[in-house]
Each structure stands twice: as structure tokens, then as C-alpha cells.
Amino acid sequence: MPKIVSPQVELDYLVALTKAAAPEIFAPDGTGYLNLLEGRWQEPGQPRDFVSPIDGRVIGRLPMLDAATALRAVRAAKAEAAAWAATDLDERKRRVQDCLSQLLPHTELVGKLLMWEIGKTYKLGFTDIDRAIDGVQWYVDNIEDMLGKRTPLGLVSNIASWNYPMSVLLHAVLVQALCGNAVIAKTPTAGGFISLSLTFAVARRCGLPVTLVSGSGGELSDVLVKNAAVDCLSFVGGRYNGRNIADALAQHDKRYMLEMEGVNTYGIWDYSDWDAMAQQLKKGYDYGKQRCTAYVRFVV
């Protein structure tokens, strides 16, 4: 019996919507995708077929960069850092708020793209983008008290795992920009590059200093991790790669944040809101233990 796909989630339909929403992310031939560097979409790199986990078809071609081109991206991103750090916080808030407002009409498209790109269920595809927008909105509303007298770091480089491209990677990028940092991010090679390209296109249109590049970790690691232009690294991924990054940065005067897989524990004391805790326990299971907050141990 032939497989039937609803027209509203059919891949060609979603790609057509993406082209209408963000034509700049596509190569001139209309089939390939571009990288965002030096403030514009360019550089198709060496395209590599990306296969959907849903049905095994090629749904796009990752625009894989070499180290030399990625270095151009890093240097250009660093050049944006000083002017952005000097931008008034109210203006940064305005631009991030504008970005969130412009992302809202695309939440359904992004949620459905995530189904094809990384195999999310219908519900969790929407949850990922919704959590990103809601989370960044919280920071926009509360950033003054959190920043205090803290100053921007400069250029923050982001390498994140594939399974939450919106609520982890996009969320982090927008909050980092809100705090006055220029940002560069690598698309996970295991999926999410179409939806990330769409959302980064919106962010760039809103005047946020964001850069998005694709490439293999082995090829781009030295540029995105060790290069002197990178002032801080934000990494989300496995313990093996995290250890390697920590070892690599041990000899560099560079800030870094490493969030790695593991069996995490909540410590609870002086607490009595057990109804709220019950909700937290239930929400943890929504993600099949893929989120770092889906803890399996609670010490009370």
C-alpha cells in the first residue's frame, strides 16, 4: 500500500515555503544552501547530501566549508563584536524582540522541517521552536537585573548537538547576542541545517551579529575552538568530544562552557512546592532523557 503524506507536511511543500520565507539562504541554482558569513549568505562549500531519518531520501545538501573559509567567517564575526558591545542594551533588546516577533509566523514551518531533518515527532518539533522563543523572551524581559555590571565577552563560538537545534542552539545564540556578544555557530552535521538557516536569516535581517557555518568537526574544530579571535566557546555534546575540547583549551586563556551528556542529579533542600516538582518530573519524560533537565536522580 503506498505511503500517504499529508500535503501540509510534505517535504517539497515545506521547502517551497522556506524559499518564500528566506530566499537568501539558497544558492543561485535554487537547490543548494549557503553559509552565512561576513554579514551575507554566500559560500556553498563542498555540498554533501543529507538524508532524512524519516524515509531515507536526500532532503538537502549541507554546504560544508573548509578551515580557510571558516577562518574568514570567524575573523569577520570578531570584527562585529566591538560595535555590537557598544550598542545600548535597549537597542539590543529591541532587535532581539523584533527577531522573536518575526520568528513567530514561521514556528509551524520550523516545527515541520524538524520532523524531516532530525526525526522529531509532530509534537516535539513544535515544542523545540516554542521553547526557544519563550526562553529568549524571558531573557529579554529580565536581562537588566541579570547583567548588572557585566560586560560582553566579545565573540562567542557555538558547537551544539543535533537533537535540539532551536531550544539549545538558537536559544543560546540569541541570548548571547542580547548580552552584547557577536556570535558564530556551526550547524550540527546530523541535522537541523535548513531550519537553522531559516531562523538565522531572520536574526540577521533584524541586525543581530550572527554567523552560521557548516562543516565537519575535524575540519573546523581548530578555527571555531582554538582561534585567538574566539573569546568564548559554548559546547553542547558528548563527553568524549567535550573532554577533547577541555584538553585543547587548557593551554589557552579562553572562557568556555561545556554541557555534556551524563546522569545528572537534582539536589533539593529548603523546598516544599511539591506540586511544582511533580510537574517537573512529568516534563522530564517528555524528552526521552534527551534534555539535560530530564534528570533521573533527585537527592532530597
**pLDDT per residue as tens digits for the range 242-280:** 777 777 777 777 888 877 766 567 788 888 899 988 887
- Percent of all residues in the chain with a pLDDT value above 90, rounded to a whole number: 67
Q: At CA 162, angle to CA 161 and CA 165, rounded to 5?
A: 95
Range of the domain at 287: 264-300
* DSSP conformation letters of 212-262: EEB--HHHHHIIIII-TT--EEEEEE-HHHHHHHHHHHTTS--EEEEEE-S
Q: Please report whether residue 141 resides in a domain.
A: yes
Are 179 and 300 within one domain?
no
Q: Same domain, yes or no, for 190 and 290?
A: no
Q: What pTM value is reported for the model?
A: 0.87
Q: Grid coordinates representing 243?
A: 573532554
Asked whether the predicted pLDDT for residue 32 surpasses 50, the reply is yes
149 has a pLDDT exceeding 50: yes
Question: Does pLDDT of 289 surpass 70?
Answer: no
285 and 254 co-located in one domain: no
Look at residue 62 and tell me whether its pLDDT is greater than 70: yes
Whether 194 and 100 share a structural domain: yes
Same-domain check for residues 133 and 190:
yes
Q: Both 154 and 278 in a single domain?
A: no
CA distance 169 to 259: 12
Q: What does the pLDDT read at residue 1?
A: 42
pLDDT at 155: 98
Question: Is 83 in the same domain as 211?
Answer: yes
Return the higher-pLDDT residue of 8 and 114.
114
User: Can you tell me the mean pLDDT for 80-91?
Assistant: 98
- Whether the CB-CB separation of 229 and 207 falls below 8 Å is answered with no
Q: Are residues 231 and 218 in the same domain?
A: yes
Give the Cα separation of 298 and 262 in Å (integer). Answer: 14
What single string gives the DSSP state of each residue in 70-120?
Answer: HHHHHHHHHHHHHHHHTS-HHHHHHHHHHHHHHHGGGHHHHHHHHHHHH--
Residue 11 parent element (H or E): helix 11-21
Identify the weakest region by mean pLDDT among 154-158, 197-201, 218-222: 218-222
| Same domain flag for 69 and 216 | yes
Q: What's 140's domain CATH number?
A: 3.40.605.10
Q: Are residues 141 and 234 in the same domain?
A: yes
CB–CB of 112/125 below 8 Å?
yes
Domain count, the chain: 2
Q: With respect to residue 1, please indicate whether it lies within any of the assigned structural domains.
A: no
> Is residue 223 located within the same domain as residue 268?
no
Q: Kindly indicate the confidence band of residue 3, based on its pLDDT and cuts at 50, 70 and 90.
A: low
Task: Give the burial string for 94-103 (b: 16+ CB within 10 Å, else e).
Answer: ebbbbbbebb
Q: Which helix (H) or strand (E) holds 184?
A: strand 182-186
Do residue 131 and residue 57 come from a single domain? yes
Q: Report yes or no on 2 lying in a domain.
A: no
